[in-house]
Chain A
Amino acid sequence: MTARIILFLAAKSLLNRWLTAGLTVFAIAVSVMMVLSVEKIRTDAKLSFANTISGTDLVVGARSGAVQLLLYSVFRIGNATNNISWRSYQEIANRNDLKWSVPLSLGDSHRGYRVMGTTDDYFKHYRYGARRVLQFDDGIPFDDIFDTVLGAEVAEALDYAVGDKIVIAHGLGRAGFTKHVDKPFTVTGILKRTGTPLDRTVHVSLNGIEAIHLDWRGGSRIPGRTITADQARELTLTPRSVTAVLLGLKSRLGAFRALREINESRREPLLAILPGVALQELWSLMGTAEAALGIVVLFVVAAGLIGMATMLLASLNERRREMAILRAVGARPAHVFAMFVLEGWLLTLLACVLGIALLYFGLAVAQPLIETRFGLYVPLDVLTIRQWIIISAIMGAGTVTGAVPAWFAYRNSIADGMTIRT
C-alpha cells in the first residue's frame, strides 16, 4: 500500500518539476540512444560483413594486407594497389584442386557505384549469407561484351530497368569524370537484394572492361586512337590483368596447401587469404575503435546520470519542508529514501523509453543514408539481448545514482523530523 503512495508522490513531484525533469530525461535519453546505436551499428556491421561472403575458400590478390585485400575485393572498400597479371591468374585457375575460380576486375564506376568485371561464373558460384545463391529479380546474366547486370540498389536508386543503356566512367569519381561514352552497356539483368555490397555493384564481363579500355592508357585516352564498340567486338579481348580471384576448392582441407603455394608463387608477389581469417583480423582492428567508442559513450551516459543526480540534489533543500510534512503524516525515513530512489528510477525509465524511441526514429531517418554512404544495411528489428542488457545496466546505474540524493534526503529527514525548515 505504501509502495503505491511513494510511487504516486515520486511521479507527482517529478511532474511538478516537468521542465528540469524533462531536460534531465532528454539528456539521458540521448545517451541511451547513442549507446544503443553504437551497439546496433557494431553488430549489424559485423553481421553484414560476415554475411557478405560464404562458400569462397580463398581470395587471391596482389600482395598487400589481408584485410585490405578482403576489403577491396569483397566489400568494395578502398582500392587495389596492384593487379594480378592475366598469366598468374591462369596459373591459379588451372590448379587441379579447384572446383571453381572467378576473376574480378575493379576500378571503374557508374554514378558513384563501383563497376566490377567478372565472368558469368560469378553468378553461379558466389554465395552470401547462409550459402545463398544469387538470384535475378529480372533478366539474365550478361552475355555480350557490352551487357551489364545491376545490383538491386543500383537499379532502384537510379531507376534502371532491363534494356536500359548506361555509360561507365573511368575511375571511381562520382561525376564529371571522363566517361566511356562511346561504349554504352545494356542492362540484361537485375539481381535480387542481398543486403551486401553486391547490391551496389554494376557487374560487367571482363571482356567488357577490357573493351572500354582498349583506346586508353593509364588515366587518359590515347590520342588519335578510337575504337568503336563494333570494332572492339572483333578484337580478342583477353584482359591484361585482374584485380582479385575468388576460389572454391574441391576440398576445404586443401586450403592451407593452396594458400601456401599461391603465396610462394614465383611469377609475381601474390597474396591468398582465407576470408574467415581475414574477417577475424578485421574484427580485431575494429576492436580498438569499438573500445574507444564504447568509452566515449560510457562517459556520455555517466554525464547524463550525473545531471540527474545534480537535479535531485539541487531539489533537496527546497523539499525539506515537504519531507517534514510526509514524516508528520507517518512516512518513515525509509519512505523518503525510497521516494528519491524512485524518482531516479522513473527518470531513467522514461529516458530509456525515449532513448529507444529516438533510436528507431534516428534509424528510420538515417537508414537509407547509412546504406548508400557506408553500404551498411541496418534493419529496424527488435532490440537484441545485448541491447536489453545495456538498457538494464543503465536502469541499474540510474537507480544507484538516485540513491545518492536519496541518502541525503534520508539523513535530512531523520535530522529534521517534523521540524519545518524554510
Chain B
Amino acid sequence: MIELSNLRFRWSATHAPVIDIPRFSVKEGERVFLEGPSGSGKTTMLNLLGGMTVPEQGSIVVDGIDLVGLKQAARDSFRANRVGFIFQMFNLIPYLSLIDIVMLPCRFSTCRAEAACKKSGSVEADARRLLDHMEIDLEALENRAVTALSTGQQQRVAAARSLIGAPSLVIADEPTSALDQNVRDAFMSLLFSEITDAGATLLFVSHDVTLASKFDRQTTMSDINNAGTQQ
C-alpha cells in the first residue's frame, strides 16, 4: 500500500532535511502505529503521503500510484479519491451540518461518492450509517452546531468522514491526544471495527504507546527516519 524509498525532504534549502527515509513500506490492510518525538517529522511525512508536498528526492508510491511524478492537481485528486484523514483536533467545519461534513470527501471525489452509493444506496445514507456506527446519535446532535460537540464526538465524526467512500488508506495524526482515556478507548474500538469493515489500511501517528499493542505493527520515527536522529 505504501512504498517509500530514498525519500528526502526539507522545508527550504536553508533548513536541514526533516525527512530522510531510505525505506518504509506498509502492506495492504495493515494497521501501523507510528510514534516519535515532537518535531521528528511525522506530520511532514503524512503530508508527503497525502500528496500535499513533494519530496526533494526519492519515490512515494501509495496504492500503486507514484506521487512524485504527478502534478499538484493530480495529487489533489489522488488524495480525494484514496486517502482519509483524521487530525488531532478541530476536524470539523463550523458552518456545515454533521451529515454535510461526513459527505464532504464524496463531494470532491466521484469514485468515493460512487463507493458510498454502492454501499448504502446514497452518499447521505452512507454518511448516516457511518455516523451511526461511530455511535453518534444523529437525532440528538443533528441540529446542534458542530462546535458544540464534545471532543470525543468531534473525533468520531472525523473518523466517519475519513472512512466514507472506502478510501484505501486512512491516515490519523494523533487523533486521540485530545481525548481522555475512556473516550479514547471507545474511539479506538469504533475506528478499528470500521477500518476492518472497510478493508482500509491504517497509518496511525500517536505519542500514546499504550495504544500500540492493538496494531499489526509498531514503528518509531527514529527507526525509519535518519534525519530525525541526526538532530
Contact = CB atoms under 8 A, between A and B. Distances in A.
A353 to B, nearest CB: 22
A286 interface: no
Interface stretch (A32-40, A248-256, A272-280, A326-334): A326-334
Contact of B87 (A1, A16, A326, A420): A420
B107 A328 contact: no
Nearest to B90: A321
Interface string A402-422: 000000000000000111101
Interface string A1-44: 11011001100110110000000000000000000000000000
A328 B87 contact: yes
Contacts of B59: none
B53 A329 contact: no
B152 to A, nearest CB: 18
A316 to B, nearest CB: 15
9 contacts: A12-B95, A12-B100, A15-B95, A329-B85, A329-B108, A331-B108, A332-B73, A417-B47, A420-B88
Contacts of A417: 47, 52-53
Contacts of A12: 95-96, 100
Given A417-B53, A419-B43, A16 B94 contact: yes
Given A5-B108, A12-B96, A16-B94, A332 B76 contact: yes
A328 B79 CA distance: 7
Contacts of B108: 2, 5, 329-331, 335
A16 B76 contact: no
B196 interface: no
Contact of B109 (A4, A16, A330, A335): A330
Interface string B94-123: 111000100011011110000000000000
Given A1-B107, A5-B107, A417-B53, A328 B95 contact: no
Contacts of A334: 73
Nearest to A324: B87
Contacts of B95: 12-13, 15-16
A93 interface: no
Nearest to B46: A418
The prevalent SS among residues of A at the interface is helix
A419 B96 contact: no
A5 B107 CA distance: 6
Q: Find the residue from B52, B87, B88, B108 having the highest chain A CB count within 10 A.
A: B108
Contacts of A4: 107
Nearest to A13: B95
Interface in B69-89: 72-73, 76-77, 79-81, 85, 87-89
B182 to A, nearest CB: 25
B72 to A, nearest CB: 7
B67 to A, nearest CB: 14
B73 A330 contact: no
A412 to B, nearest CB: 13
B144 to A, nearest CB: 14
B91 interface: yes
A331 B79 CA distance: 9
A69 B201 CA distance: 91
B91 A325 contact: yes
Given A2-B108, A4-B107, 14 more contacts: A13-B95, A321-B90, A327-B76, A329-B80, A329-B85, A329-B108, A330-B76, A331-B76, A332-B76, A417-B47, A417-B52, A418-B85, A420-B87, A420-B89
A280 B108 CA distance: 60
B161 interface: yes
Interface of B: 43, 46-47, 50, 52-53, 72-73, 76-77, 79-81, 85, 87-96, 100, 104-105, 107-110, 161
Given A321-B90, A422-B90, A328 B76 contact: no
Interface residues of A, number: 28
Contacts of A13: 95
Nearest to B53: A417
Pick the 6 closest A-B CB pairs, nearest first. Answer: A330-B80, A16-B95, A330-B108, A5-B107, A417-B52, A328-B85
Contacts of A329: 80, 85, 104-105, 107-108, 161
A330 B92 CA distance: 15
A322 interface: yes
Nearest to B107: A5
A4 B109 CA distance: 13
Contacts of A419: 43, 47
Given A16-B95, A328-B79, A2 B107 contact: yes
Nearest to B76: A332
B94 A418 contact: no
A60 B94 CA distance: 74
A330 B43 contact: no
Nearest to A328: B85
B72 A332 contact: yes
Given A329-B85, A329-B108, A330-B81, A418 B93 contact: no
A13 B96 CA distance: 8
A417 B109 CA distance: 18
* Most central of B46, B76, B161 by chain A CB within 10 Å: B76
Contacts of B79: 328, 330
A418 B92 CA distance: 13
A16 B147 CA distance: 12
Contacts of B47: 417-419
A66 B27 CA distance: 94
B220 to A, nearest CB: 22
A98 B36 CA distance: 107
A2 B108 CA distance: 6
A254 B94 CA distance: 79
B76 A322 contact: no
Interface string A330-343: 11111100000000
Contacts of A322: 93-94
Given A13-B95, A329-B104, A1 B90 contact: no
